[in-house]
């Protein structure tokens, strides 16, 4: 009974986080539209993307990934078993250590940017000025790491207190900062792409600032104190070391893809970036939202040693992720060209760029369900204090990605890199599920497989309906005016939602009931 109530709570909270994340992703798409319009897919865009990869990778390694995964279970344990005063003491200690450590990291990053750029994008040295521009952009954006890391810590505290809305809205500030940088700052810089780099810093500051009033409201008071001997700090540091690799396999794979893509023809980095940005929409709205809500709940169960509830909550959340992510992947794959054309085919972004980006997106979509589920699955291990298992599986996934990159980059170019990343992510997920099944299982395989099959069937039928419409009634994306393309996109969005709803009902998917309950819609029996 408590499990059902918790599942309903997860669904409701997921709705809050998904709505906020949806707004953030919409603004993210606007940000990419501004980017595509101003800079297209080429010299400056490649340089910016490679430069931003550096602090962004470190963010996932040390902040939103490792720190959150290590901090939330320990903070939850302190709050549950020792009370608020001890929990606030731990939060202050971790915050101060984070500030000192990342200030050093940022300074070192700025100093050694030229060497880091040579490592991450060696192919840029073949084009005059490209490596130098990447270095300048990297130095401007490195302080973003400090801002977003503190924002991630604050988000972890708020999520533990079941405050999900404001933290989920925080990334909207980042997107607004970059949009402002592109529109208002870029015209005053030479090259204009420097304005976008400053927009990253504005966005990072906003992402932190919007959460601080709520943090104070729930009782946090800043105290400057440093201690490496505090048992909670020791435990977090021990968990962070392996977690640094455990949750970062996706970013590490993207890092490797960027490195290899820099060796391919100009525009390859941009095509992969634009397509993966579209992937981030369903990953964030569905996968990250469910994982964000589920993690503190599972951590609380793990702190009480209620492993049956951990398993039940995880399985329910995994099926919810599949229910939302699989049709998203089918839709993006089938409708990749009209989606990209409407969003990005303006200014310096041409129809040929649309075709190339859509090819990368289709191969990324193969692994969308895995991208969306890895964070939830890895977080379940972290909630139990096991940070070693995700490390082992992520190392295997990274190795698979590198090997496939080297094999596929010749015959498939940038498309092979997208396919390699998808296969690597699926490898990571399947290994995690297999180990979890043995560790605290057994998982109800029959239920999970049966549900997944029905989801795939519903999504495939939806995809066929969208394909048929585009094939017989879709506009010519190279020559059609923008209003006609927007109308076609609206039609296929409505068609996909309606058909997936109908097929979900016909296949009796229980996840549909949870979504309808969330929307306060009564299903007709």
271 or 56: whose pLDDT is higher?
A: 271
pLDDT at 249: 57
CA dihedral 155, 157, 160, 165 (to 10 degrees): -40
Distance CA 323, CA 7 (A): 15
Distance CA 335, CA 332 (A): 5
pLDDT at 247: 53
- CB atoms under 10 Å from CB of 108, counted, come to 12
Distance CA 116, CA 109 (A): 8
Distance CA 439, CA 455 (A): 27
Residue 90: pLDDT band by 50, 70, 90 thresholds? very high
pLDDT higher than 50, residue 72 = yes
Q: Is the separation of the CB atoms in 254 and 34 below 8 Å?
A: no
293 or 497: whose pLDDT is higher?
A: 497
> For helices 113-120 and 84-111, what crossing angle results, to 10°?
90
Distance CA 379, CA 385 (A): 10
In Å, how far are 42, 108, 196, 201, 407 from 120, measured between CA atoms? Answer: 17, 16, 20, 21, 20
| Omega before 191 within 30 of 0, i.e. cis | yes
Half-sphere exposure of 47 (CA within 13 A, CB side): 27
pLDDT 10s digits, 446-501: 888 999 999 999 999 999 999 999 988 888 887 888 889 899 999 999 999 999 99
pLDDT 10s digits, 331-378: 999 999 999 998 888 877 888 888 999 999 999 999 999 988 988 898
Please choose, from the candidates 119, 383, 145, the residue with its C-alpha nearest in 3D space to the C-alpha of residue 246.
Answer: 383
pLDDT at 77: 85
Report the SS3 class of residue 348.
coil
pLDDT higher than 80, residue 262 = no
Instruction: Enter the tokens of residue 190.
Output: 């030479």
**Mean per-residue pLDDT of the chain:** 85
Q: Which residues contact 15 (CB under 8 A, 6 or more apart)?
A: 518, 519
**Region 315-331 average pLDDT:** 91
pLDDT at 521: 42
Q: Is the separation of the CB atoms in 157 and 91 below 8 Å?
A: yes
Residue with token string 């550096």: 54
Region class of 50: left (phi > 0), else alpha (psi between -120 and 50), else beta: alpha
Instruction: Enter the tokens of residue 366.
Output: 């193969």
The percent helix, strand, coil of the chain (3-state, each to 5) is 85, 0, 15
Distance CA 372, CA 329 (A): 11
Q: Is the separation of the CB atoms in 150 and 208 below 8 Å?
A: yes
Residue with token string 């600032």: 209
């Amino acid at each position: 009974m408590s499990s059902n109530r918790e599942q309903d709570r997860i669904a409701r909270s997921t709705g809050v986080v998904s709505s906020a994340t949806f707004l953030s992703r919409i603004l993210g798409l606007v940000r990419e539209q501004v980017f595509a319009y101003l800079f297209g897919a080429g010299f400056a865009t490649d340089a910016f993307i490679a430069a931003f990869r550096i602090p962004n990778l470190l963010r996932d390694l040390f902040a939103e990934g490792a720190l959150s995964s290590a901090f939330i279970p320990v903070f939850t344990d302190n709050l549950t078993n020792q009370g608020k005063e001890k929990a606030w003491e731990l939060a202050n200690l971790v915050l101060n250590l984070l500030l000192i450590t990342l200030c050093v990291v940022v300074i070192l990053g700025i100093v050694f940017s030229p060497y880091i750029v040579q490592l991450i994008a060696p192919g840029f040295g073949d084009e005059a000025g490209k490596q130098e521009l990447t270095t300048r952009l990297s130095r401007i954006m490195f302080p973003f790491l400090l801002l977003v890391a503190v924002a991630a810590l604050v988000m972890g505290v708020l999520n533990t207190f079941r405050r999900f809305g404001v933290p989920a809205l925080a990334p909207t500030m980042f997107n607004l900062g970059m949009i402002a940088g592109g529109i208002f700052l870029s015209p005053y810089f030479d090259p204009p792409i420097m304005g976008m780099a400053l927009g990253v810093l504005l966005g990072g500051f906003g992402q932190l600032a919007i959460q601080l009033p709520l943090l104070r409201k729930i009782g946090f008071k800043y105290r400057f104190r440093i201690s490496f001997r505090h048992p909670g700090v020791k435990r977090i540091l021990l968990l962070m070391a392996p977690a640094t690799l455990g949750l970062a396999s996706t970013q590490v794979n993207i890092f490797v893809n960027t490195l290899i893509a820099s060796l391919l023809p100009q525009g390859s980095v941009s095509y992969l970036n634009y397509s993966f940005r579209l992937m981030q929409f369903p990953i964030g709205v569905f996968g990250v939202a469910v994982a964000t809500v589920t993690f503190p709940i599972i951590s609380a169960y793990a702190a009480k040693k209620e492993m049956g509830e951990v398993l039940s909550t995880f399985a329910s959340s995994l099926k919810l992720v599949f229910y939302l992510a699989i049709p998203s992947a089918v839709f993006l794959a089938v409708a990749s060209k009209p989606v990209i054309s409407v969003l990005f085919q303006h200014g310096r972004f041409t129809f040929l760029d649309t075709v190339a980006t859509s090819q990368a997106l289709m191969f990324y979509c193969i692994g969308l369900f895995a991208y969306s589920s890895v964070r939830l699955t890895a977080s379940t291990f972290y909630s139990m204090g096991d940070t070693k298992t995700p490390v082992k599986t992520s190392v295997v996934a990274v190795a698979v990605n590198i090997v496939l990159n080297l094999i596929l980059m010749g015959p498939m170019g940038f498309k092979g890199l997208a396919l390699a990343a998808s296969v690597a992510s699926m490898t990571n997920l399947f290994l995690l599920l297999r180990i979890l099944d043995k560790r605290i299982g057994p998982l109800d395989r029959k239920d999970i497989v049966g549900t997944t099959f029905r989801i795939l069937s519903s999504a495939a039928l939806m995809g066929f309906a969208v394909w048929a419409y585009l094939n017989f009634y879709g506009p010519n994306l190279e020559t059609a005016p923008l209003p006609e393309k927007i109308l076609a996109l609206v039609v296929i969005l409505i068609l996909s939602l309606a058909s997936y709803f109908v097929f979900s009902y016909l296949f009796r998917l229980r996840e549909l009931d949870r979504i309808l309950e969330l929307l306060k819609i009564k299903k007709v029996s």
